[in-house]
Amino acid sequence: MKEEIRQAKEVIWLNPDLRPVAEAGDCELTMADIDDAEARLARFASFIRKRFPETEEQGGLIESALTEIPRMRDLINEKYGSRLEGRLLLKQDSHLAIAGSVKARGGIYEVLKHTEELAFASGILKETDDYAKLDAPECRSLFGQYTIQVGSTGNLGMSIGIMSAAIGYRVIVHMSADARQWKKDLLRSHGVTVVEYEADYSEAVKNGRRQSDQDPKSYFVDDENSRNLFLGYAVAAKRLVGQLEEKKVRVDEEHPLFIYIPCGVGGAPGGITFGLKQVFGDAVHCFFVEPVQAPCMLVGMASGLNNNICVQDIGLTGMTHADGLAVGRPSGFVGGVMKPVLSGEFTIRDGKLYDYMRDLLETEDIFLEPSACAAFQGPVRLQKSGETKRYIAEHHLEDKMKNTAHIAWATGGSLVPEEIREEYKNTFI
């Protein structure tokens, strides 16, 4: 397989270190940390509802729909010969309020946690207060003395930038060469300073961190190592419980749940997976999907080197049309947490991103950006590939697959401008 990865071929990697949850060992984070993050988001709900009226219907919570997509499942089986059993659903983090991507979870949560800490330290806020008061001029004046910085390929920068600007911070987003122009333009329309780099994501992060470290009133959101980002993503798992119940989807030993999540540096899929394993235990099976030229988490985990290796070290370019996944070096923190709990990885060539995007539009009339469509590589290949058939057999799931729910985790797309959507629809590789 090493040679196939080097040659940028599509591969399926099964994690040899996967363990039953009871044997996975201790992690520095726990369910109590997820509960704490969930409670903090609830405290900020009144502020979010005030600043972002589009969240009014959900009471200031930023949450996405879980949608069954049976026509997409039928097309996957007919067009790709996939023989996928069970139900196929789409978790539409692509349509999360404010930022239109999964990054609205972790990115916004980290900004809110930092804001709460500053407000507590300055004496303008107590935990028992109505957090809507943070929109007052004197609060915005306080936050205006501080800067938030982040390195991003696009979507994380949008979530950090839009929320930070709404609170009143100065904001600087360091964007890699892979970032789409429309994302830069959108950030600038919110008053965010965008610094552009010719290099890749890692360089943008390194420069952003260095500049932030020189300013005592600057806070750097570290996508590679942040526990706060990770926990913001993990809250998604607790909220999924009620949505599955509404859809009459059972998750237990006889009713497995398979999750497929596009992966860049690893924070979002890692946090979601950590939360899911805390909530559903061994009944949930989580897979990441990465581009063939930028499978950084796969390379890090398969080699055991985590962030001590990058895709360029094995001859890959790190360049991909999946701009949100264009990352050459993974998060070492996430790789360590995922070692005993991640089921495996799929890689995908860029052309299929657009094929799956058109398939979903045709069958369900739902638009996702191409990088989000990487998620469908899992359902397409799960029950037609030898490697994953072996996984199903080893976990004694053969007779349970008809009871399975599959969730493709849609990571972005709702803010894509119409002219860019048309461009994507007509892209063939």
Mean pLDDT, each 10-residue run in order, the chain (429 residues): 92 98 91 98 98 95 98 98 97 97 97 98 97 96 97 91 97 89 94 91 89 96 93 98 98 98 97 98 98 98 97 96 93 97 98 98 98 98 96 97 98 96 96
On whether both 95 and 109 belong to a single domain, the answer is no
On whether both 293 and 414 belong to a single domain, the answer is yes
d(Cα 299, Cα 29) in Å, to the nearest integer?
A: 24
- Domain end among 185, 206, 227: 227
CA atoms within 13 A on the CB side of 391: 24
- Domain end among 179, 200, 227: 227
On whether both 189 and 282 belong to a single domain, the answer is no
Q: Do residues 294 and 345 make contact, with C-beta atoms less than 8 angstroms apart?
A: no
- Note the pLDDT of residue 154: 85
On whether both 274 and 399 belong to a single domain, the answer is yes
CA distances for 60 relative to 53, 63, 274, 285, 390, angstroms: 8, 9, 25, 31, 44
- Note the pLDDT of residue 394: 97
- Note the pLDDT of residue 281: 98
| Residues in a beta bridge with 152 | 175
d(Cα 333, Cα 20) in Å, to the nearest integer?
A: 20
d(Cα 221, Cα 316) in Å, to the nearest integer?
A: 27
123 exposure class (CB count in 10 Å sphere: 0-12, 13-18, 19+): exposed
On whether both 380 and 349 belong to a single domain, the answer is yes
Nearest to 190 by CA among 306, 99, 82: 99
On whether both 323 and 410 belong to a single domain, the answer is yes
- Domain end among 166, 199, 227: 227
Range of the domain at 240: 2-99+236-425
- Domain count along the chain: 2
- Note the pLDDT of residue 26: 86
Q: Do residues 329 and 225 make contact, with C-beta atoms less than 8 angstroms apart?
A: no
- Note the pLDDT of residue 400: 98
